Structure 1
Amino acid sequence: MSKVTKDIEAPLAKVFRYIEQEKNNFVENLKNAVSIKSVSADPNLRFEVLKMMNWANNKLKILGAEVELCETGIQVMNNEKIELPPVLMGKLGNNTSKKTICLYGHLDVQPADISDGWSSEPFILTKRDDKLYGRGSSDDKGPVLGWMHAIEAYQQTGTELPVNLKFIFEGMEESGSIGLSELLSKRKDTFFSDVDYVCVSDSYWLGTEKPCLTYGLRGMCSFGVEIKGSSKDLHSGMYGGIVFEAMSDLIHILDKLVDHKGKILIPGIYNDVEPLSEKEKELFMKLDFNVDNHLTDIGVSKPLKETKEDLLINNWRKPSLSIHGIEGAFSGSGFKTVIPRKVIGKFSIRLVPNQDPKKVSDQVKSYINSIWNSRKSPNKLKIIQSNDGEIPWITDPFNSHFMAAHRATEIVYNSEPDYTICGGSIPITLTLEKITGKSVLLLPMGAGDDGAHSQDEKINLLNYIEGTKLMAAYLYEVSKI
């Protein structure tokens, strides 16, 4: 890890001391936030999402922000109309001589239950070995609270907040941010008219030791391949050897999508992949990433690529295809000797810069149809696409906005940050860039082993507190641009 020495300027030194002094209170705030079961995917917990939005609304009001809970409409779930949770939009400060930063985060979480394999109750923040375990601790309640605590530190130390702030905190990110883009587009010429930069706090370090700045995200297309054979499930003893089986057809198709080394077999899929620039290659060479440690963390014995650079390029800058499951097939313990009447194979493709979801969709459908025509099965094929796809996002990591975040990272961690791309997707990032026309930066708080969406999600106490200092330092350094 390269080391640098940075003197902490007096205003930030006071802010940092306050954050250290108040860390127990900040942990208590996170405990309260985690206890709210704001699972957006569960219609029975939608009231908890609303409770979470009101909780955050009150917190921002205490800090002196002007806030609004904006309605986003109705969602249909299981043939029932359910009101979407409001989006919290707010502002703090209106000094025209200062930069205005728009902050985005989300307050909904993935489902969780101790029966899933958690070591402790997921909605009770539990401290073990200076790690704070709980659903949403890292994704994304901890980072959202980090912004609030950074603002509090400025105010309580009598230190002038160096920028104006605008807030967008939503409660549907884990369920596709339904209604958010439409709401933000309507506010393009009002709420966003004076925004200078956008900062998203919904990503993670590459590893566990070194902070990073994120300048890209992969997009995604997801598909279902439906094969329908008989009008009902059939007994394999009575009908095996008599009928063309839907499951065999499906496995045949799925097997031809990707090879054992991860290469996608769909013709033309790599044609539009944007090559790395020489400057970007240098960023990859500097990355602090240990392949063996990474494999040990996830319990895998061998990677698809051997070197650090090749492995990360494969994850960040090349498309990947993953098969996720088969609906309609028996998956319980024991045997059920049935020939399913209809099966649906589900897969997704992660997209990289310069790939167009619509073009990829056309390539996928054309290829699957060609496989099906060669198969000559009398069964019925249907290709399902779950949505229009998510467009990949990448930005210039060498601009003044990133350099300000770079300096802030050096101040807090005494280390230069890594520059990373996230293999996942955060579609609102591209939306915010398009609406504002300004530089968007992802400023991670959590570590790479936090287990977002998984059992025993956690945030390290160090990341939570030092990450709050980083947010405070970021605001300070951006004000100098």
Structure 2
Amino acid sequence: MKAPHTCSSEKMNPQTLLLILLLLPAARAFQFTRMAQYVDSHQEEYVEALRDWVAIESDSSNVLKRPDLHHMMEVVAQKLRLMGGTVELVDIGEQELPNGQILALPKVVTAQFGNDTSKHTVCVYGHVDVQPAKLEDGWNTDPYNLTEINGHLYGRGASDNKAPVLAWIHAVGAYQALHMDLPVNVKFVIEGMEETGSNGLDAMILAQRNTFFSDVDYIIISDCGWLSRRPALTYGTRGNCYFFAEVEGPKQDLHSGVYGGSVIEPMTDLIGILDSLISPSGKIQIPGIREAVAPLTDEEWKMYQDIEFDLENYKNKTGVSQLMYDNKVDLLAHMWRYPTVSIHGIEGAFSDPGTKTVIPAKVTGKFSIRQVPNMDPAVVKTQVTDYLHSVFGKRKSPNKLKVSMVIGAKPWLANTQHPLYEAGKAAVNKVFNVDPDLIREGGTIPIARTFQDVTGKSIIMIPIGGFDDGLHSQNEKMSRYNYIEGTKLFIAYLNEVSQIKKTSV
């Protein structure tokens, strides 16, 4: 009698092979379900980790908090070390303060998990410094004591950017805990100066372009938020050109009763030229600015039309009775893909309570122009400087005008047809069972453009923060739901990226 046939890898019949191939997707789904259950069962541990991080007052703008910032970076590095990562604290030099004081910049944490050359390598960027916060600013809870109310985790830095950084770390940790191979190699770059301009980071990225970043295929940033309750993928940010316009007149401040009517006042000149920047309807009046903007395409219009966005909710959230535009597409376009002028303040002017009757001898107006693709900060600097001097010249004033651009951050825009975004859509669908909105950010994340220009790698922004998280404001929060489901999203995304064909760039 013939011995029963055994299926070895050498003698597998076609029917058995087909069955295995058909079952592979189910195996992947089962593994994700198992990982999602692991995340759910460890969510209290994740919340406690966020509580520990929020308790560290890592305010990068306050030099007195610099020791806390150094400690924060050590805490991040140690967490990654305990997970078995190859971790380095990269010295990025020193910072000179306006008073001449020299301070060490917080070191940048880099880490690597996996070095399988047959796999893609992704690099996750995040930051763990925060904006200033004090209870007396109007917080309902201690900003540095994570407080849960109705499923929301309140604390400075909870959403921007400590919870997203932790969610990425926990995503890697979940693979490890369940003894599953990471589907891709994962690198981390975590800094501590993002809220004050990422001092030293550009130079560090340039210096490590051919070392740490040499094998990176894709870069992921999660320092952003959803537009509504629908999950989103972010594919663009505006840049920022920030200007000082200084008008100087008398040698010292003057009494308005004694000298008013006899001198041409710097403040009057300044307000006159600032008023010339933008019309009451929001039209930028500087020649060449609007002409440089790429026209809105039919495809873009359709994308904006499909985005979930409620104008009335937005109006109520901002506390205004009227918006600049009364339809969704126009408003989103002017928030994301058109430039805007914002006037931020006047240095040298009297701003304290009371009635000081002074004519300031020198005042400096501060304003910014958000950049969009096709705009070049160097060109914008020339356009603004020439225009303001032209307007000022027509005033026939004896005062002196000096215009300077102190920030020139470029915009960033990605191709939504790139496989990174297809992977993002698949991951969002797996976790939330909806298609994500494809959105842009009106604000500026300069590091995205730096990564793009220096490394040449493709970038995606995957937010998990809510639309109402209150970044930089009082009562900043991250919802428990977004934090936990965001961790699952990152787990799913790593798996989706692993399936991108190696030929994709």
Same fold (TM over 0.5): yes
Q: Secondary structure at the match of 1:138?
A: helix
Q: Secondary structure at the match of 1:386?
A: strand
Decide whether the 8 Å contact of 1:108 with 1:174 is kept in 2. Answer: yes
Task: Compute the displacement of 1:30 (Å).
Answer: 0.4
Name the residue aligned to 2:165.
Answer: 144
Name the residue aligned to 1:238.
Answer: 258
The answer as to 2:437 corresponding to 1:418 is: yes
Decide whether the 8 Å contact of 1:87 with 1:168 is kept in 2. Answer: yes
Name the residue aligned to 1:27.
Answer: 47
**TM-score scaled by length of structure 2:** 0.92
Q: Secondary structure at the match of 1:330?
A: coil
**C-alpha separation between the residues in 2 aligned to 1:451 and 1:433?**
28
The answer as to 2:47 corresponding to 1:47 is: no
Name the residue aligned to 1:3.
Answer: none
1:347-362 pair list within 5 angstroms: 347-362=367-382
Name the residue aligned to 2:492.
Answer: 473
Name the residue aligned to 1:169.
Answer: 190
Deviations 1:187-234 (A, max 9, x none): 111111111111011010012x10000000100100011111211211
Task: Compute the displacement of 1:277 (Å).
Answer: 3.3
Large movers: runs of 4+ above 3 Å: none
2:287 pairs with one of 254, 264, 267: 267
One-letter amino acid of the counterpart of residue 246, structure 1:
P
**C-alpha separation between the residues in 1 aligned to 2:359 and 2:292?**
41
Q: Secondary structure at the match of 1:135?
A: coil
Q: Secondary structure at the match of 2:133?
A: coil
**C-alpha separation between the residues in 2 aligned to 1:438 and 1:73?**
26
* Structure of greater relative contact order (alpha carbons < 8 Å, 6+ residues apart): 1
Task: Compute the displacement of 1:366 (Å).
Answer: 0.5
One-letter amino acid of the counterpart of residue 200, structure 2:
G
Task: Compute the displacement of 1:436 (Å).
Answer: 2.7
Identity %: 48
Unpaired segments ≥5 residues, structure 1: 1-5
One-letter amino acid of the counterpart of residue 359, structure 1:
V
Task: Compute the displacement of 1:435 (Å).
Answer: 2.8
Structure 1 residues 321-330 or 155-164, which shifts more?
Answer: 155-164
**C-alpha separation between the residues in 1 aligned to 2:241 and 2:218?**
29
**C-alpha separation between the residues in 1 aligned to 2:438 and 2:383?**
32
2:213 pairs with one of 187, 192, 197: 192
**C-alpha separation between the residues in 2 aligned to 1:98 and 1:278?**
38
1:44-123 pair list within 5 angstroms: 44-77=64-97, 78-123=99-144
**Largest Rg, 1 or 2:** 2
Q: Secondary structure at the match of 1:243?
A: coil
Q: Secondary structure at the match of 2:290?
A: coil
Name the residue aligned to 1:370.
Answer: 390
Name the residue aligned to 2:344.
Answer: 324
Count of residue pairs brought into register by the alignment:
474
Decide whether the 8 Å contact of 1:11 with 1:159 is kept in 2. Answer: no
**C-alpha separation between the residues in 1 aligned to 2:233 and 2:462?**
6
Task: Compute the displacement of 1:47 (Å).
Answer: 1.0
**C-alpha separation between the residues in 2 aligned to 1:23 and 1:381?**
57
1:451 pairs with one of 464, 470, 482: 470
**C-alpha separation between the residues in 2 aligned to 1:438 and 1:344?**
40
Task: Compute the displacement of 1:290 (Å).
Answer: 0.5
Task: Compute the displacement of 1:434 (Å).
Answer: 2.3
One-letter amino acid of the counterpart of residue 282, structure 2:
G
2:224 pairs with one of 178, 194, 203: 203
Q: Secondary structure at the match of 1:271?
A: helix
Decide whether the 8 Å contact of 1:107 with 1:141 is kept in 2. Answer: yes
Structure 1 residues 6-15 or 186-195, which shifts more?
Answer: 6-15
**C-alpha separation between the residues in 2 aligned to 1:83 and 1:433?**
27
1:16 pairs with one of 13, 36, 59: 36
**C-alpha separation between the residues in 1 aligned to 2:342 and 2:288?**
18
One-letter amino acid of the counterpart of residue 436, structure 2:
P
**C-alpha separation between the residues in 2 aligned to 1:222 and 1:420?**
24
RMSD: 1.2
**C-alpha separation between the residues in 1 aligned to 2:202 and 2:295?**
30
